[in-house]
Amino acid sequence: MNDTVKYVLDETRIPKFWYNLQADLPKPLPPVLHPGTGKPIGPDDLAPLFPMALIMQEVTTEREVEIPGPVRDVYRQWRPTPLYRARRLEKALQTPARIYYKYEGVSPAGSHKPNTAVAQAFYNKEAGVKRLITETGAGQWGSSLAFAGALFGLDVQVYMVRVSYDQKPYRRALMETYGARCIASPSNETQSGRAILAQRADHPGSLGIAISEAVEVAAQNDDAKYALGSVLNHVLLHQTVIGQESIAQMEMADDYPDVIVGCTGGGSNFAGIAFPFLGAALRGGQKIRIVAVEPAACPSLTRGTYAYDFGDTAHLTPLTKMHTLGSTFTPPGFHAGGLRYHGMAPLVSHLKELGLIEAIAYHQIGVFDAGVQFARAEGILPAPEANHAVKGAIDQALLCREEGVSRAILFNLCGHGHFDMQAYIDYFGGKLSDRGYDEKELAMALAGLPSVTEPA
């Protein structure tokens, strides 16, 4: 039995532009605000953290942003990525649905994250930057930036959330193999880290704390800049190569998605697959449903407040309007470390407010059930984060079975789980739990939201 159906583009089909959804939005994004003045910030306010080329990509409303030649050259190593029809999974589910998945796990770091890491390293190198400072949760972003830094001759320094640093030594080893320096966060190297350690010496860390440390170091050193792996407009922009390739591959399949599914931590892989299709719909093309899937233990889109908030715990970042659980919220431990962020990308949040996307939250055991079912049918072992998208797609396919209709479902398989086998061991050992977040802690974190509103 050979049911493998794979749509492959040759390398001349790597997109030449990133697609900018800001050009097609029915209503523009709310401005980013200065935390001191409450007034919109300008490009110069961000200059200590990012090179100007990336700052301009943050605010541009041009529809197409050209991908520099050297970035496309690096993309050629693994792009265009394959798109598969999941025939064996369809059979296993006995669904009339047509399930397709775009596979981003073929990159050197094993996820979609190098799509932006390579671009960010390129622009920083062009601007004369010597060092990139960043944070990482599970280690996917840290290893992607370490890879990109190695290619462009930049030093990379990664603040890794303490629990992951201790529990995920393999991702750390990968970063070090690429030449990066990896520091457990909270650390003694920064004021933000020392302040947290003074309160609690064995603090397990959080993405919000690690971001504070990285931003602090970048802001204080002229030769260093900060890099973020999700959330920001320019990061989502770089990921749109995923959706643009998918449009061409769905054409090869002579099909078009009725539903697109992606998992959301900060929103970048979801945006990558969905925005090019959404843009086409906003310009008068075929309408589609778009579903964002998030963990029930850190449900920013489904349970967060849409408000101005900080991106980090120490409140060093500007204020952006987004769905947030509050910058001091610490989600309970669960295995999809890449989805443990208190906020959601402003662009994705804006779409949710406009009713252009839907969101759903799942507990982790059902998510791993789905991932294992997928692996047994399709052979690819997804990252725990990607299992959320798998579960979302399977539920859509089961809905088709119930309703007796055939729809095309496209989801983003954003990474493989080869460095996450402990999560699978725990799942098979019956050690996963569906612990929710602490309602009291959420209420407290939300009560602490800064009291600024959108300027009229």
Residues that bind ligand PLP (CB under 6 A): 111, 113, 140-141, 230, 263-270, 338-339, 383, 385-386, 414-415
Residue 5 has what DSSP assignment?
E
Q: Quick one: three-class SS letters along 59-88?
A: HCCCCEEECCHHHHHHHCCCCCCCEEECHH
The tokens describing 333, both together, are: 């431990």
Residue of 23, 21, 45 lying closest to 33 (CA atoms): 45
Beta strands in 303-437 (DSSP E): 305-310, 319-324, 358-362, 408-413
The minimum distance between CB 279 and ligand PLP, in angstroms, equals 18
CA angle, 216 then 217 then 222, to 5°: 115
Name the residue type at position 303: R
Nearer to ligand PLP, 95 or 364 (CB): 364
Report whether 438 contacts 298 (CB < 8 A). no
Residue of 48, 36, 230 lying closest to 127 (CA atoms): 48
Nearer to ligand PLP, 164 or 212 (CB): 164
Q: In 227-297, where does DSSP find H-type helix?
A: 233-238, 241-252, 268-282
Nearer to ligand PLP, 103 or 310 (CB): 103
Nearer to ligand PLP, 386 or 400 (CB): 386
Nearer to ligand PLP, 75 or 270 (CB): 270
Nearer to ligand PLP, 55 or 383 (CB): 383
The minimum distance between CB 11 and ligand PLP, in angstroms, equals 23
The minimum distance between CB 386 and ligand PLP, in angstroms, equals 5
Gap between the terminal Cα atoms of the chain: 62
- The burial of 202, by beta-carbon neighbours within 10 Å (0-12 exposed, 13-18 middle, 19 or more buried), is given as exposed
Residue of 414, 385, 411 lying closest to 396 (CA atoms): 411
Which string of b and e fits 24-48 if b means at least 16 CB within 10 Å? Answer: bbeeebbbbbeeeeeeebeeeebee
Report whether 21 contacts 347 (CB < 8 A). yes
Residue of 414, 360, 356, 354 lying closest to 382 (CA atoms): 414
Nearer to ligand PLP, 266 or 279 (CB): 266
Nearer to ligand PLP, 25 or 207 (CB): 207
CA angle, 110 then 166 then 181, to 5°: 65
Nearer to ligand PLP, 338 or 371 (CB): 338
Q: How many other β-carbons are positioned within 10 Å of the β-carbon of residue 200?
A: 9
The minimum distance between CB 351 and ligand PLP, in angstroms, equals 14
The minimum distance between CB 371 and ligand PLP, in angstroms, equals 12
Nearer to ligand PLP, 196 or 390 (CB): 390
Nearer to ligand PLP, 193 or 295 (CB): 295
The minimum distance between CB 119 and ligand PLP, in angstroms, equals 14
Which string of b and e fits 124-141 if b means at least 16 CB within 10 Å? Answer: bbeeebebbbbbbbbbbb
The minimum distance between CB 341 and ligand PLP, in angstroms, equals 8
Q: How many Å apart are CA 389 and CA 382, to the nearest integer? A: 10
The tokens describing 143, both together, are: 């290893």
The minimum distance between CB 83 and ligand PLP, in angstroms, equals 17
